[in-house]
Amino acid sequence: MTSETRQVRLANRPMGMPDEATWSLATEELPSITEGQLLVKVDYISIDPAMRGWLNDVRSYLPPVQIGEVMRSLDIATVVGSAHPDFAVGDVVSGMFGVTQYAVCDGADAQKVDVATAPAPTWLGTLGIPGMTAYFGLLDVGKLKAGETVVVSAAAGAVGSAVGQIAKARGATVVGIAGGPDKCRMLTDELGFDAAVDYRNENVLRRLREVVPDGMDVYFDNVGGDTLDAALANLRHGARVVICGGISAYNEEKLPPGPSRYMSLLVFRASMTGFVVFDYAERYAEATEQISAWLADGLMQAREQIVEGGVEKFGECLNMLFTGAGTGTGTGTGKLILAV
């Protein structure tokens, strides 16, 4: 059984895009497990836009990662040592183990995943936090009804692609906003979106008026900035704007201007609501059951981009989210995952 682990720690808080100085790579001795604990070998690390926010020393829904701490991450791991009656060596589990090769954790911090239902990486994507985020954000916060029109930004990403597919499964018309013709073609040709808007090559505000001339009922926002403003200009009466993220500003060194078209909320009697998926933790099983059924019926597809290279590749892999390189193996869409 291994006695040490390689892990990535936060060395300096970045200004703008994280770089090599942001991280330090350390080798640490592992403590022996005691009653109720597990030793797990991390197999896959989820790479998420929210990670960039965890590096800022500001108040948020989770405390910031502190200087010198192991970088926070959600992982899929294999149990290689157990002193817990509910876990056996060989069990596959998920948990916030961090960017590390091995971790010692309490049994309460690990949840078994069924790799017979879906491959391990899918439990970090469509059946993981991105899928939960899409499900509860669209259906509980967005209150989607069959026959409505949904627009989602960052539609080629892990959350956005799941939002669009869930909306289609629920009988909605779906428009995705993504960067580049390849991603847009993939949304319409393979994931079944009704239309796609290429924010790199099209005027988003004008293009939305063409594809949703009567406005949108639900706007699911992962981006913020100008894209949010364009959506606010194209609402329908009673629309719901769901604030999931604001990736366009995550690496900005100062706060960007707020939305200039917020009065559209008044004009269209619309609402704009932010949410954090962890608030729905007690209902994850509900979403897992429904999404699994949609996957089995072919109404949804699970797509992951697996980056090889181990924990040493973490910093480079995280930045792929912000440079457009994290796009799903061979597909133009998907969940970005680092293989350890």
Chain segment 31-76, per-residue pLDDT in tens: 999 999 999 999 999 999 999 999 999 888 889 999 999 999 999 9
Judge contact between 94 and 113, C-beta under 8 A: yes
Question: DSSP readout, 245-258?
Answer: --GGGTT-SSPPPP
* Mean of all residue pLDDT scores within the chain: 94
Quick check: helix, strand or coil at residue 172? coil
- And the tokens for 212? 């949703």
Question: DSSP readout, 192-215?
Answer: --SEEEETTTS-HHHHHHHH-TT-
Instruction: Enter the DSSP assignment of 3.
Output: -
* Superfamily for domain range 4-125+303-339: Medium-chain alcohol dehydrogenases, catalytic domain (3.90.180.10)
Residue spans of the domains in the chain: they are: 4-125+303-339, 129-278
Provide the pLDDT confidence category of residue 155 given band limits of 50, 70 and 90.
Answer: very high
What pLDDT does 331 receive?
36
Fold classification of 129-278 is Rossmann fold (3.40.50)
Judge contact between 302 and 118, C-beta under 8 A: yes
SS3 content of the chain, % helix, strand, coil (to 5): 30, 25, 45
Q: What mean pLDDT comes out for the span 99-113?
A: 96
Provide the pLDDT confidence category of residue 252 given band limits of 50, 70 and 90.
Answer: confident
**Greatest Cα-to-Cα distance within the chain, rounded to the nearest angstrom:** 64
Return phi, psi of residue 149, to 5°. Answer: -110, 125
Note the pLDDT tens digit of each residue in 113-143.
999 999 999 999 999 999 999 999 999 999 9
Chain centre to alpha carbon of residue 232 = 23
What pLDDT does 334 receive?
80
Q: Which residues contact 51 (CB under 8 A, 6 or more apart)?
A: 71, 72, 73, 318
